[in-house]
């Protein structure tokens, strides 16, 4: 046989084999998710066809189980509020039986659906019709089927004509649903006026985006609010002292509420010491140093591109000096931090555009630190946000190293000789200090910047247990005035 013919036959066989494999992979049914799944949908609606539609965003999510008409469903909710501490509004339930997905709950206009809708039917073939409701009002005809790769798996995809006024054709993927009209768009009631339609944006499981609509730049459209004043958050800021060439770490947390002049504030804790009050109102963050000082706005997340805003920043560690600065908002973008999309504001001083540019992250604050909002002063100290936590979850980290840094001059370190041993340690360390007329405080931080030991050192030797798993820890020695005078790394084996 001609070698060229052999090559053509071999190539044809390989292609057919690949198609068979892909088809076989595509036939592995992917069930609908049971939990930790969400669908991001955009709704465009108007009753005036001569005006652009108003758009809103809906986050559908599965959150627990519920029983409706003596049947168990996975509870379908609309997720609202702050994206870090969301609120869940139940609207209905989903269940799967024999590759059929059923929904019962509320429609778009808020009306209750008393009987189940057959939301999707993955048993159908080309030419079949899916009757979604008992009245035959909602139906879909299967036009074509193929397989698409989603997160490393092939899933069956249906091209359908839903006979409705939404996107045509619609596409439905196993384990996801409609990727044109969204989870419930093809069975949703709408107003009779104007134009109303749904846009599928993305689908995620376990906070990981598995599939998105390529017609949009990403899943970040319509970013949810991210509040700043949240007691579950903590901010770590490195303060670089110009005169002493030293570094300290400011740790900000929020304590209980307090009322000042009929206004509610959250108490600010700076290195566990009360340090003013913070409140949030409609995207604006206000700070006051004490009950007698005036309130200062330190952020305004309600501004738009091109706007100018006057804010204040704390520019002293010791004497509580503030700087007033007018920024212009050059641009607003979005960026994902810890699977949460946040708006980023890029600003420059109006008196010197392009110099000392500033960046704000919604829900996190300035990259110069929560209270500082300015990258320093001429010949003065500089501030760098190193880490932000929400509970035990790391929202932001500037460096690959530790959140806590203390690096003081050699003269100060040598004037108060303190030794910690053994190092590495199995857990117990001994502390020796030779100038007993001084009071010392020992603080130990884990690799995430969390304080795990805070104790006073008495005369002579002390023994301290380092809690937590093996790893790197940072020990900070402070004098009787709370000034950090020594830092060392501890390795726990």
- Tokens representing residue 141 in the block: 């005809």
Average pLDDT, stretch 466-475?
82
pLDDT score, position 338: 72
pLDDT in tens, 444-455: 887 666 788 888
pLDDT band at 474 (very low <50, low <70, confident <90, very high): confident
Nearest-angstrom CA–CA distance, 18 and 377: 64
pLDDT at 143 over 90: yes
SS3 content of the chain, % helix, strand, coil (to 5): 5, 50, 40
Interatomic CA distance for residues 406 and 249, integer angstroms: 7
Q: How far is CA 173 from CA 22, 168, 183, in A?
A: 16, 15, 11
pLDDT reported for residue 412: 35
- What average pLDDT does range 376-393 have in this prediction? 73
Confidence of residue 413 (pLDDT cuts 50, 70, 90): very low
Decide which of 381 and 32 is more confident: 32
pLDDT at 313: 85
pTM for this structure?
A: 0.59
What average pLDDT does this structure show over 69-86? 87
User: CA 157, CA 270: separation in Å to the nearest integer?
Assistant: 55
**How confident is the model over 200-216, as pLDDT tens digits?**
999 988 878 899 898 87
- Please report, rounded to a whole number, the percentage of residues in the chain having pLDDT higher than 90: 29
* Two structure tokens written together for 389: 């936590």
* Residue 383 and residue 237 in contact, taking contact as beta carbons nearer than 8 Å: yes
pLDDT band with cut points at 50, 70 and 90 for residue 15: low
3-state secondary structure of 24: helix
Provide the pLDDT confidence category of residue 160 given band limits of 50, 70 and 90. very high
Structure tokens at 111: 């009306």
User: Which pLDDT value is given to residue 101?
Assistant: 96
In the block, which residue shows the tokens 């007329």?
437
pLDDT tier for residue 104 given thresholds of 50, 70 and 90: very high
Average pLDDT over residues 267-285: 90
Give the E-state strand segments of 338-435 in sequence order. Answer: 340-349, 358-361, 365-366, 382-390, 393-397, 418-421, 428-433
Residue 34 scores a pLDDT above 80: yes
Give the separation between CA 359 and CA 342, rounded to whole angstroms: 12
What's the pLDDT at 353? 65
418 contact partners, CB below 8 Å, separation of at least 6: 431, 432, 433, 440, 457, 477, 486
pLDDT bin (cut points 50, 70, 90) of residue 53 is: confident
pLDDT-derived band at 409 (thresholds 50, 70, 90) equals very low
Share of the chain above pLDDT 70, in %: 79
């Amino acid at each position: 046989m001609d070698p060229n013919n052999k090559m053509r036959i071999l190539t044809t066989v390989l292609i057919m084999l690949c198609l068979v494999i892909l088809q076989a992979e595509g036939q592995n049914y992917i069930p609908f998710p049971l939990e930790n799944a969400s669908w991001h949908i955009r709704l465009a609606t108007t009753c005036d066809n001569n005006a652009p539609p108003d758009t809103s965003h809906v986050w559908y999510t599965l959150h627990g189980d519920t029983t409706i008409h003596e049947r168990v469903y996975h509870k379908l909710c609309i997720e609202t509020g702050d994206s870090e501490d969301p609120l869940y509004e139940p609207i209905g339930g989903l269940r799967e039986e024999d590759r059929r997905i059923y929904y019962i709950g509320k429609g778009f206009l808020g009306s209750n659906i008393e009987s189940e809708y057959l939301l999707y039917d993955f048993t159908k073939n080309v030419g079949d019709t899916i009757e979604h409701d008992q009245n035959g009002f909602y139906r879909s005809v299967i036009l074509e089927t193929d397989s698409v790769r989603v997160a490393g798996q092939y899933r069956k995809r249906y091209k359908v004509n839903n006979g409705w006024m939404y996107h045509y054709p619609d596409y439905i993927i196993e384990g996801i649903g409609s990727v044109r009209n969204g989870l419930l768009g093809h069975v949703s009631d709408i107003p009779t006026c104007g134009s109303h339609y749904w846009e599928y944006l993305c689908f995620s499981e376990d906070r990981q985006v598995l599939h998105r609509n390529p017609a949009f730049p990403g899943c970040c459209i319509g970013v949810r609010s991210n509040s700043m004043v949240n007691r579950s958050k903590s901010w770590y800021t490195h303060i670089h002292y110009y005169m002493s060439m030293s570094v300290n770490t400011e740790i900000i947390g929020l304590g209980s509420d307090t009322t000042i002049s009929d206004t509610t504030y959250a108490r600010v804790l700076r290195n566990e010491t009360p340090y003013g009050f913070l409140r949030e109102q409609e995207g604006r963050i206000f700070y006051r140093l004490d009950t007698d000082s005036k309130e200062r706005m330190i952020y305004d997340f309600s501004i738009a591109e091109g706007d100018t805003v006057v804010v204040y920043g704390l520019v002293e560690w010791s004497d509580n000096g503030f700087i007033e600065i007018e920024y212009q908002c050059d641009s607003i973008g979005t960026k994902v931090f810890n699977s949460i999309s946040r708006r980023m504001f890029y600003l420059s001083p109006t008196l010197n555009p392009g110099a000392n540019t500033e960046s704000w992250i919604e829900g996190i604050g300035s990259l110069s630190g929560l209270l500082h909002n300015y990258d320093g002063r001429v010949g003065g100290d500089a501030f760098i946000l190193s880490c932000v936590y929400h509970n035990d979850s790391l929202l932001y980290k500037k460096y690959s190293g530790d959140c806590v840094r203390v690096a003081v001059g050699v003269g100060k370190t040598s004037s108060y000789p303190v030794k910690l041993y053994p190092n590495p340690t199995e857990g117990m360390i001994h502390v020796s200090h030779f100038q007993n007329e001084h009071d010392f405080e020992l603080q130990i931080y884990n690799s995430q910047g969390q304080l795990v030991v805070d104790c006073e050192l008495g005369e002579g030797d002390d023994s301290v247990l380092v809690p937590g798993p093996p790893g790197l820890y940072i020990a900070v020695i402070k004098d009787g005035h709370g000034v950090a005078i020594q830092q060392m790394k501890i390795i726990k084996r």
